Structure 1
Amino acid sequence: MLAIRYVVGAVLAVSSLTLTSAQVLADSPELKPHWQTDGLRTPESVLYVPDENGPYLLVSEIEGEGNQADGKGGIAKLSLEGEILDQDWSRGMNAPKGMGLRGDTLYVADLTEVLMVDLESGRVQARIPVDDSVFLNDIAVADDGTVYVSDTRTGKVHRIHNKDAELFLEDLKDPNGLYTEGNDLYIGAGDTLLKASPEGELETVATGFESGIDGVEKIADGEFLVTCWVGLVYHVDNGEVTRLMDTREPRMNTADLGWNPEDGIAYIPTFFNDSVRAYRWQ
């Protein structure tokens, strides 16, 4: 197990964007607060959309219960500056969580189904049931069009081809955050970041996180930003795990982050605090 190198023991106040560091190493990278958007409805995941007419953000809002098919959830649309452009961009979902994009279709993990949403209109075009699923959590789409979805409660990852879902991996520990590179899949499973080949062969990328992984984003070759829902954010650099932020004391959860590769900005939904916070990576 790799040791965690604690570079920044940070506490982020809920009411402001001031980051107080207990200790900082001189040349260590950090997440610098950029903006904050309040008034969201239990935001769980953020997706950066590189639209040719101007990129924007989509935020999944659970609003109701995270494990109930209550039809209260939906997707909000934000500008890159954090302005809420359309909070009701798409509605009528059941505890929506992770999202993935392919072409003009948005895929959304919606409890026991994967929704296909038209990116232009926000309308749900199809619902793909996932057999034996309980708590679908994150989505990632590979270059070959394969859609992967994690089920944290059952320890499984499913994959979808041509609107048909099938089991891909099982017996994982609390699989949640997903990220694809080419046709390979990265999986945040408990306190371990795994990499799976299209054939299902697993290897460990990094381990030693203090809590279960929620979001995973690759930011450079061999480098990832990883969130843990309890209020922890990490940098992974070729297997070395560094804690960047700890917001457990003010009880601010850090859910499934989004990443803007053009500007080097991470977007972290705070779930119970009903906000999304943007941080510049530097």
Structure 2
Amino acid sequence: MKLLFPVLCLLAFAACSHKSDKQKEVKPNIAFEISEGILHPESIIYSPQHGAFFVSNVASGNPMETKPVGYLSKISKDGKVINAKWVTGMHAPKGIAIVGDDLYVTDVTRVHKVSISKSKITKTFQVKNSKFLNDAVADANGNVYVSDMFSDILYRIINDKLSVWVQDPKLEGSNGLFTDGKEHLLVVKWGTQVDPKTFQTKTPGDMAIIPLAKTSDINVVKEIQGHLDGITVDAKGVLWISDWMNGDIFTMSKSGKVKKMFNFGQGTADISVAKELDLLMIPQMNQSKIIFIQL
């Protein structure tokens, strides 16, 4: 799988002709919204194999929750709630990765493996010394990468074994993850020295690019900054990035130009694209709903 986004341009962003687009926000083409059974959603993913969306609900609103009140929802591809509390017993579930018939869901200091066909948790990874596990993404080989927003560590799960993959100061505040499949992992960051009470930071987050085969060659891209949460790519190879605090959603074009597209208010979380449906999915944590934008 070749990278859908021009990483070489990002790696050389100082030489790229980059300009932030100052045009007005685009009016979103909202296909539908879902709020039934949704409670402080953090992440959403679409499985074409199962024809369904899966949503992580923090439920209590406390991202550090220690009680088993969080859950996953299952939604049909046309926006009907199949089961609002499809899988329960989680604390504050966030990022979701999919590998075949399994979901990998981050949950504060744990990662759950969920069987889609069995509708249940089949394994839980207790991540020693982790602080605030956030996003998860799978590469083309089925390896799963996990971010920890309160540290500078990324974890990886291979053959159902979890370990530290890379630790680097350039990754402090890592949040949203995206992989092109076999070559690179893109990381958007919340910022440095995160206050666990207010989630404010000393400096805003930016983007890092990690070669999967050589993790020592981490490159930082500062063309976009903020309290960045989600990163995804559409069928045209355009990156979409969300800022949780400001509620902004940006695009980064193939030429490296950043454009503010929409604002859905504070709490705009881990966005995702269903390429098969040409939909951008936006979990709005503070408003307890999912917004589906037709691209």
Structure 2 residue runs without a partner (length 5+): 1-13, 191-204
Residue 210 of structure 1, CA deviation? 4.5
| C-alpha distance 7-263 of structure 1, shift in aligned 2 (>3 A) | farther
The corresponding residue for 2:161 is: 164
Q: Is 1:224 matched up with 2:239?
A: yes
Which has the larger displacement, 267-276 or 219-228? 219-228
Residue among 238, 252, 272 paired with 1:258: 272
The corresponding residue for 1:274 is: 288
Residue by residue over 1:13-47, the C-alpha shift from the partner in whole angstroms, topping out at 9 and shown as x without a partner, is xxxxxx4xxxxxxxxxxx42111112311111010
Find the aligned partners of 2:108 and 2:244 in 1 and give their Cα distance: 18
Identity in percent:
25
Residue by residue over 1:1-21, the C-alpha shift from the partner in whole angstroms, topping out at 9 and shown as x without a partner, is 7542133336xxxxxxxx4xx
| C-alpha distance 247-6 of structure 1, shift in aligned 2 (>3 A) | farther
| C-alpha distance 7-32 of structure 1, shift in aligned 2 (>3 A) | farther
Find the aligned partners of 2:118 and 2:69 in 1 and give their Cα distance: 19
The corresponding residue for 1:45 is: 43
Q: Is 1:5 matched up with 2:21?
A: yes
> TM-score, structure 1 length as denominator?
0.85
The corresponding residue for 1:130 is: 127
Find the aligned partners of 1:6 and 1:152 in 2 and give their Cα distance: 30
Residue 194 of structure 1, CA deviation? 2.2
Amino acid at match of 2:263: D
- State the SS of the aligned residue for 2:46: strand
CA contact (8 A) 1:226 1:234 kept: yes
The corresponding residue for 1:188 is: 188
CA contact (8 A) 1:207 1:241 kept: no
Find the aligned partners of 2:237 and 2:207 in 1 and give their Cα distance: 12
Residue 263 of structure 1, CA deviation? 2.3
Residue 209 of structure 1, CA deviation? 3.0
CA contact (8 A) 2:48 2:276 kept: no
> TM-score, structure 2 length as denominator?
0.81
| C-alpha distance 144-176 of structure 1, shift in aligned 2 (>3 A) | same
CA contact (8 A) 2:72 2:86 kept: yes
- State the SS of the aligned residue for 2:286: helix
Residue 220 of structure 1, CA deviation? 4.0
Find the aligned partners of 1:155 and 1:268 in 2 and give their Cα distance: 26
CA contact (8 A) 1:177 1:213 kept: yes
Residue 260 of structure 1, CA deviation? 1.0
Select the structure that is richer in strand. Answer: 1
Residue among 103, 107, 113 paired with 2:104: 107
CA contact (8 A) 2:240 2:250 kept: yes
CA contact (8 A) 2:46 2:54 kept: yes
